[in-house]
Every structure is written in C-alpha cells, then in structure tokens.
C-alpha cells in the first residue's frame, strides 16, 4: 500500500444527489423498477468516485448511495430480521428499527458486488464498509435471542463472513463501524469480543469508527478493540478528547475527525491544519489518517464537497511542512 503520510479518507456515507433521492422515493411507491434505481445508484457512485479522485483522497469509499440507514440496510439483507414500525429519534425524525425474530443468517454477500463495482472505477484503494455487530444489536429490537450477548455474537459471525468475502474480492481496507460502542461502558468488553470475531484471520487493514459518547469512561480500554485503526469524532468536541491521550497514549492508528459533519459551515484550511497539529502533539504522524468526524450524508452535496476539498488541501499543505 503506497500511501503518503497523513492519508486522507472519509467515514463512509456521502449525500445522495437529488435525482437519486427522488428515484428512491419513486421506487418505494413502485413507480420505477429495481434496475432503474440501481442504474442511478451506480451513476451517483461513479460521480462520487470521480470527485474523490479529482480532489486527491487517498482511500476511497463508495459513498453508500444504495443504503438508507446503516443498521437497517444490513438487517434488510440478513435473514432473521423484520423491520418495525416508526420510532422517533429526535424532533420530527423517525426511523424503523430491525427486529430479530429468528436465527440471523447471511444468505448471500451483501456489499461485495458494490465493492467490486466501485473498485473497478479507480486505481486507488476502496474501503469495504460494514456496520459492526454491537451496533446492529444495540439499535435493534430482539424477540428471538435470550440475551443481548447472544444476538451480538451471532451477528459477529455473520459480519465476519461478509468481511472475509470483501477481503477475497480484493478489499485492502475494511471498516467496521461501531458508533454505539461509546454509549454503554459496561458492555465494552462485549463489543471487543464481538469485534475479535469479526476481524479474526483477516489480512486486510481493519478500522472502526466510533462516534461521540462518554469517551472518558471507555478510554483507554477501547484501545483493546482488535482493529488496526480507530476513527474518532473529534471536531464536534473541540478536541477535548486529546486531553485523554495525555493520560494514556493512543496506541492504535487514529482516524482523525477534522470536519464537523453537523455544521453547515465549511472549515478553513487553518482550522483543519490546527486540528492536525494538535493531534501531532500526542500521536506520531505515521499513525494519523485524516477524515471527517462522521459520515457526510446529512450535508448537502455541495457542502460535503466544499468541506472535503478543504480537508484534502489542508492535509497536503501539512505534509509539506512535515517534509
């Protein structure tokens, strides 16, 4: 893998262009066919790949044009899940939760064809993108397994199979997102055990993304999550997290979140550089990957692009100063 120092990447999702949002709605009303929808998903994927190449991102993603919710997408493709009625998350936002109603099984690979398609569009490495077993368990109802642990460990096996298939299809990087991990410190052990099952025997470089939560309660224990890199949301939290690293060094590679994905405002290059500088005080440059705080799907297409441009340009300038 020929990567520059401070490789740039993204957390996974990009905003869907308007034509795709419209097509997804039409598909849900049976107004267009699955094939017609897929053509547009591919078109949007190609546009995002072209954009990532154009601005010079080092490790690409497919942008998840074909996914809705990160947990529901997998639940819909695994056997043993049903999808619930609407549950509120905040304000006027509702989502449907998966319900485990039978033994969870992966009948066919879920993301492999999309990985292959995306990798065929570029010479640069494309990351395989999965949602982790702990998060799928935590964000689902469970009417089948006796305990949370049982469901979580079963999902770990299923996600492992998917990761294996991605690796065989050529994925050099596999990201297994666990945003729910920071929420229940008492279950961190379970999340670690489950990730151990997912990454067991993989040769690919593995990473996990964790969103903001009660980090002081899970740090440094979270460094035991068996992956090569932990990608963290940092900008949203004004980099308070780095203070934790003073107490115990961050021993994994870090995916350094330098863009606040919840804000409409585009960061300046100086802000991004300052964030990288700050991290460099605690973590050697060889261990730092630069990325946004989280998936960018909630931003407008142009907002996301502007933010990413600044991120890549600022990182390039940093590289020069580092020699």
Residues near another protein (CB under 8 A): 84-92, 94, 97, 99, 138-139, 141-143, 180, 183-184, 213, 262
Minimal distance in Å, beta carbon 35 to another protein? Answer: 29
Question: Which position has the token pair 């990567």?
Answer: 3
Question: Residue 207: how many CB atoms within 10 A of its CB?
Answer: 27
Helices (H), the chain: 18-28, 34-55, 72-77, 112-119, 133-138, 148-168, 188-199, 215-218, 241-247, 269-280, 301-322
Nearer to another protein, 85 or 284 (CB): 85
Minimal distance in Å, beta carbon 236 to another protein? Answer: 8
Minimal distance in Å, beta carbon 270 to another protein? Answer: 23
Nearer to another protein, 122 or 236 (CB): 236
Nearer to another protein, 27 or 212 (CB): 212
Please check whether residue 111 is in contact with residue 162, taking contact to mean a CB–CB distance below 8 angstroms. Answer: yes
Residue 293: which of 172, 209, 178 has the closest Cα? 209
Minimal distance in Å, beta carbon 182 to another protein? Answer: 9
Distance separating alpha carbons of residues 11 and 197, to the nearest angstrom: 22
Minimal distance in Å, beta carbon 178 to another protein? Answer: 14
Please check whether residue 49 is in contact with residue 60, taking contact to mean a CB–CB distance below 8 angstroms. Answer: yes
Minimal distance in Å, beta carbon 149 to another protein? Answer: 13
Nearer to another protein, 124 or 148 (CB): 148
Instruction: Estimate the crossing angle of helix 34-55 against helix 301-322, to 10 degrees.
Output: 30
Question: Which position has the token pair 């999309």?
Answer: 114
Nearer to another protein, 13 or 135 (CB): 135
Task: Give, in degrees to the nearest 5, the angle at Cα 213 between 180 and 290.
Answer: 90
Helices (H), 200-288: 215-218, 241-247, 269-280
Nearer to another protein, 138 or 167 (CB): 138
């Amino acid at each position: 893998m020929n990567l520059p120092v401070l490789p740039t990447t993204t957390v996974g999702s990009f905003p869907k262009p308007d034509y795709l949002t419209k097509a997804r709605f039409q598909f849900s009303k049976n107004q267009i066919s699955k094939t017609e929808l897929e053509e547009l998903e591919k078109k949007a994927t190609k546009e995002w790949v072209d954009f990532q190449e154009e601005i010079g991102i080092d490790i690409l993603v497919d942008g998840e044009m074909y996914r809705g919710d990160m947990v529901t997408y997998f639940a819909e493709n695994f056997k043993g899940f049903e999808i619930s009625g609407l549950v509120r998350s905040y304000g006027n936002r509702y989502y449907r939760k998966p319900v485990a109603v039978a033994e969870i099984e992966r009948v066919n690979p879920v993301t492999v064809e999309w990985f292959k398609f995306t990798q065929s569009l570029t010479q640069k490495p494309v990351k395989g993108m999965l949602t982790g077993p702990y998060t799928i368990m935590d964000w689902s109802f469970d009417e089948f397994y006796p305990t949370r642990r049982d469901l979580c460990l079963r999902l770990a096996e299923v996600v492992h199979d998917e990761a294996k298939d991605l690796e065989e299809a050529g994925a050099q990087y596999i990201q297994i997102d666990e945003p729910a991990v920071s929420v229940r410190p008492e279950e961190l052990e379970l999340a670690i055990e489950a990730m151990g099952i997912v990454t067991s025997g993989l040769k690919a470089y593995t990473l996990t993304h964790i969103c903001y939560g009660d980090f002081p309660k899970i740090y440094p224990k979270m460094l035991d999550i068996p992956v090569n890199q932990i990608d963290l949301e940092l900008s949203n939290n004004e980099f308070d997290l780095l203070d934790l690293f003073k107490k115990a060094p961050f021993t994994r590679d870090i995916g350094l979140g330098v863009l606040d994905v919840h804000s409409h405002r585009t960061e300046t290059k100086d802000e991004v550089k300052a964030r990288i500088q700050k991290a460099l005080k605690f973590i050697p440059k060889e261990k730092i990957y630069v990325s946004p705080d989280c998936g960018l799907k909630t931003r407008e297409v142009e907002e996301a692009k502007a933010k990413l441009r600044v991120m890549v340009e600022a990182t390039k300038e940093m590289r020069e100063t580092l020699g």
